[in-house]
Amino acid sequence: MQATSSPARLEAFSDGVIAVIITIMVLELKVPALSGFAAFHGVISTLLVYGLSFTYIAVYWVNHHGLIGTLTRSNTRILWANLVWLFALSLIPFFTDYINEHFDSFSVTIYCICMFAAGVTFLILRYTVECQVVREGRLTSFDRGTRIKHWGSIFIYAISIGLAHISPRGALLVSSIVTFIWILPTLGLFGGSYGGDVPASHHELAPHKPEMDHSHTHK
């Protein structure tokens, strides 16, 4: 039997790691040696890549917050799945800096591979958490829309890996579609709502308690 613990520690640890990841990316940003628009123009591409990586991490953080919120306790499988996902996520600052230093098809390819790995490991974490919730008897149905978005994101990353050999900029543009898939519903566009694992699924996690019928109660 696996040891279980409160998910609060898992979430706090993950939040701390994600905060460090973002901090590392910020520290990699260098101020131009000269002032003026011409000098600043040289770092615009760096800021764009940083913004893209930051948005990826933000999407994962929001999804992770929702996913862990479904748990009442975690187990060893969840802890390891979470660590593997954090490992993939922690590589983003390195490959972000690598793109900024050497922008070519190779650097973009391994950047997209990193994103693909983060997507796959998060999907594994999601299924691991769902298994725990099912085991507790609190999950009656799965959020199919969220699953489709997870698989769709991985598919987009796979396409961007292949495209990077032809057009590095095109590959980054294609991979950025993932951010729109997850963020636009939160803005209320397209008539959708956020497809995260928790907010839209809380009603599925708690078993329905029928109301008592007082019509036959005798006074």
Angle between helices 144-163 and 168-175 (to 10 degrees): 180
Mean pLDDT over all residues of the chain?
A: 82
Long-range own/partner contacts, residues 167-175 (CB < 8 A, 24 or more apart): 168/103, 168/104, 168/105, 168/107, 168/108, 171/108, 171/109, 171/112, 172/49, 172/52, 172/108, 172/111, 172/112, 175/52, 175/112, 175/115
Residue with the larger pLDDT of the pair 188 and 18: 18
Residue with the larger pLDDT of the pair 93 and 138: 93
**How many angstroms separate the CA atoms of 66 and 141, rounded?**
16
**How many angstroms separate the CA atoms of 157 and 178, rounded?**
8
Yes or no: say if 107 and 131 are a contact pair by the CB < 8 Å rule. no
Task: For residues 111-129, give the mean pLDDT.
Answer: 95
Identity at 82, one-letter amino acid code: N
Identity at 184, one-letter amino acid code: L
Q: Does 5 score more than 70 pLDDT?
A: yes
pLDDT in tens, 145-192: 788 889 999 999 999 999 999 999 999 999 999 999 998 877 755 444
Yes or no: say if 185 and 139 are a contact pair by the CB < 8 Å rule. no
How much is the pTM? 0.79
Residue with the larger pLDDT of the pair 34 and 28: 28
